[in-house]
C-alpha cells in the first residue's frame, strides 16, 4: 500500500483516499448507503483512511466528515494500470512544469462529450423533461398571478423552459476539466498508433489508479470509468453525461479524472502533480531508435525522475 503524497494539504490527501475507497468502508468492507456519514482522517499508523460510522474509532483524528452519495460511474480498483500515450514534447512539458493539463470538455474532438443523445431524439428528450418542467412552469405562472393558466400558456412557457434547460446543459460542458487515461493490464499497439503518429518518437506513462489519485494536487476531483453506450435511448434527465461515451470509443477503455469549475473561461486547467507518485514506469514507443531511449532517460534524470524506462514489447523478436 502506498502512502499518499505529503506534498499536498491534508484536505487533498483525505480526498484522494476517499475517492479510492468510494462506495465501501475499508475496515468492515460494507457497502455504504445513500446519505450515510463517512469519516476521513489519519489511522494510528499514520496512513490516511476513510471509515463508516461504526468503524470511525479506527481513525485517530477525524479531519473531515463526508456525506456519501453513490456515483453513477464505477471507480476502478486501486491497482488497475493506467496509461497515457504522448509525444515527447508533451512529456518534457509535464516534467518541466510538474503540472498535468486537464482539457475543458467542449474542447475534445468528440462532439458527443457531455451529450444526452442524438439531435433526432430531441422530442424524446423533451418528453423526459416534461413532467418536472410542467410543475416548475405552473408554479412560475402562479407566482406571476396567473392562477388558472390555459394549455397554450403552459405550452408556450414549457417550450421556453426546455430550450433554456438544454442551453444550460450545453454550456455545462465548459465547466468540466478532464484528464483521460487508458486502463489496460499491458501496453496497446492500437494506442501507440492512435497517439504517436508514424515514424515519430513518443512515450507512454504508466501509472495506477492509486498513484493517479495520490498525485493530484487538488481536492474536489472525481476519478471513474467511462461508460460506453449506444444512445439508442437518450440519457435519463438526472444522468451526468460527462461519464458517457459512444460504444465506437470503447477501445479507449477510458478512466477519467474530472474537476468541475464554474465560470472558468480557460480552454483547460493545469493541475500540480506529484510526478514521482504519478509515474510508475515510462515506455518507449515501438521502433524508436536507441538514441531516443537514451534521451528520455537523460531528460528524466535531469528532472530527478528515477523510474524504470522500458522498451516496447512490440519490438521483441519472435521465435517460430
- Minimum CB separation from Zn ion for residue 68, in Å? 12
Return the number of the residue (33 or 262) whose C-beta is nearest Zn ion. Answer: 33
- Minimum CB separation from Zn ion for residue 79, in Å? 21
Q: What is the largest CA-CA distance in the chain?
A: 85
Among 8, 15, 27, 181, contact with Zn ion (rule: CB under 5 A): 27
Backbone φ and ψ for 245, nearest 5 degrees, come out as: -145, 165
Return the number of the residue (55 or 273) whose C-beta is nearest Zn ion. Answer: 55
Helix axes 122-143, 151-172, angle to 10 degrees: 120
Give the interface segment with Zn ion, choosing from 14-22, 53-61, 74-82, 299-307 (CB under 5 A): 53-61
Which residue reads 517460430 in cell numbers? 320
- Minimum CB separation from Zn ion for residue 199, in Å? 54
Other CB atoms within 10 A of residue 174 CB? 19
Among 3, 23, 28, 37, contact with Zn ion (rule: CB under 5 A): 28
- Minimum CB separation from Zn ion for residue 267, in Å? 42
Bridge partner residues of 224 (DSSP) = 256
- Minimum CB separation from Zn ion for residue 27, in Å? 5
Return the number of the residue (52 or 235) whose C-beta is nearest Zn ion. Answer: 52
Distance (Å, whole) CA 126 – CA 114: 17
- Minimum CB separation from Zn ion for residue 37, in Å? 11
Give the interface segment with Zn ion, choosing from 11-19, 21-29, 93-101, 143-151 (CB under 5 A): 21-29
Grid cell locating 54: 461504526
Give the interface segment with Zn ion, choosing from 27-35, 160-168, 201-209, 283-291 (CB under 5 A): 27-35
- Minimum CB separation from Zn ion for residue 19, in Å? 17
Return the number of the residue (52 or 282) whose C-beta is nearest Zn ion. Answer: 52
Q: Does 52 bind Zn ion (CB under 5 A)?
A: yes
| Residues 241-280 contacting Zn ion, CB under 5 A | none
Return the number of the residue (55 or 300) whose C-beta is nearest Zn ion. Answer: 55
Return the number of the residue (26 or 149) whose C-beta is nearest Zn ion. Answer: 26
- Minimum CB separation from Zn ion for residue 51, in Å? 6
Q: Does 25 bind Zn ion (CB under 5 A)?
A: yes
Q: Does 38 bind Zn ion (CB under 5 A)?
A: no
Distance (Å, whole) CA 311 – CA 1: 27
Return the number of the residue (24 or 101) whose C-beta is nearest Zn ion. Answer: 24
Among 19, 48, 50, 55, contact with Zn ion (rule: CB under 5 A): 55
Return the number of the residue (55 or 269) whose C-beta is nearest Zn ion. Answer: 55
Binding site residues, Zn ion, CB under 5 A: 25, 27-28, 52, 55
Amino acid at each position: 500500500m502506498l502512502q499518499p503524497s505529503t506534498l499536498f494539504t491534508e484536505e487533498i490527501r483525505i480526498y484522494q483516499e476517499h475517492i479510492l475507497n468510494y462506495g465501501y468502508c475499508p475496515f468492515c468492507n460494507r457497502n455504504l448507503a445513500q446519505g450515510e456519514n463517512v469519516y476521513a482522517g489519519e489511522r494510528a499508523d499514520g496512513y490516511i483512511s476513510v471509515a463508516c460510522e461504526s468503524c470511525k474509532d479506527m481513525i485517530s483524528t477525524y479531519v473531515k466528515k463526508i456525506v456519501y452519495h453513490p456515483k453513477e460511474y464505477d471507480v476502478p480498483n486501486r491497482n488497475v494500470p493506467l496509461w497515457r500515450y504522448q509525444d515527447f514534447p508533451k512529456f518534457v512539458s509535464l516534467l518541466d512544469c510538474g503540472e498535468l493539463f486537464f482539457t475543458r470538455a467542449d474542447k475534445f474532438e468528440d462532439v458527443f462529450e457531455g451529450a444526452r443523445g442524438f439531435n433526432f431524439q430531441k422530442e424524446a428528450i423533451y418528453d423526459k423533461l416534461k413532467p418536472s418542467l410542467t410543475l416548475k412552469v405552473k408554479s412560475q405562472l402562479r407566482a406571476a398571478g396567473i392562477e388558472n393558466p390555459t394549455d397554450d400558456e403552459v405550452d408556450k412557457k414549457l417550450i421556453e423552459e426546455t430550450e433554456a434547460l438544454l442551453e444550460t446543459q450545453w454550456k455545462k460542458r465548459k465547466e468540466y476539466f478532464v484528464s483521460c487515461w487508458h486502463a489496460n493490464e499491458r501496453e496497446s499497439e492500437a494506442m501507440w498508433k492512435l497517439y504517436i503518429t508514424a515514424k515519430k518518437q513518443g512515450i507512454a506513462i504508466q501509472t495506477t489508479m492509486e498513484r493517479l489519485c495520490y498525485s493530484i494536487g487538488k481536492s474536489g476531483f472525481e476519478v471513474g470509468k467511462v461508460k460506453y453506450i449506444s444512445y439508442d435511448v437518450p440519457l435519463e434527465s438526472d444522468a451526468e453525461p460527462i461519464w458517457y461515451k459512444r460504444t465506437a470509443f470503447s477501445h479507449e477503455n477510458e478512466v477519467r479524472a474530472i474537476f468541475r469549475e464554474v465560470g472558468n473561461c480557460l480552454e483547460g486547467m493545469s493541475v500540480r502533480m506529484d510526478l514521482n507518485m504519478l509515474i510508475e514506469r515510462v515506455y518507449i514507443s515501438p521502433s524508436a531508435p536507441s538514441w531516443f531511449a537514451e534521451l528520455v532517460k537523460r531528460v528524466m534524470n535531469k528532472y530527478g525522475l528515477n523510474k524504470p524506462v522500458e522498451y516496447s514489447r512490440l519490438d521483441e523478436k519472435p521465435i517460430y
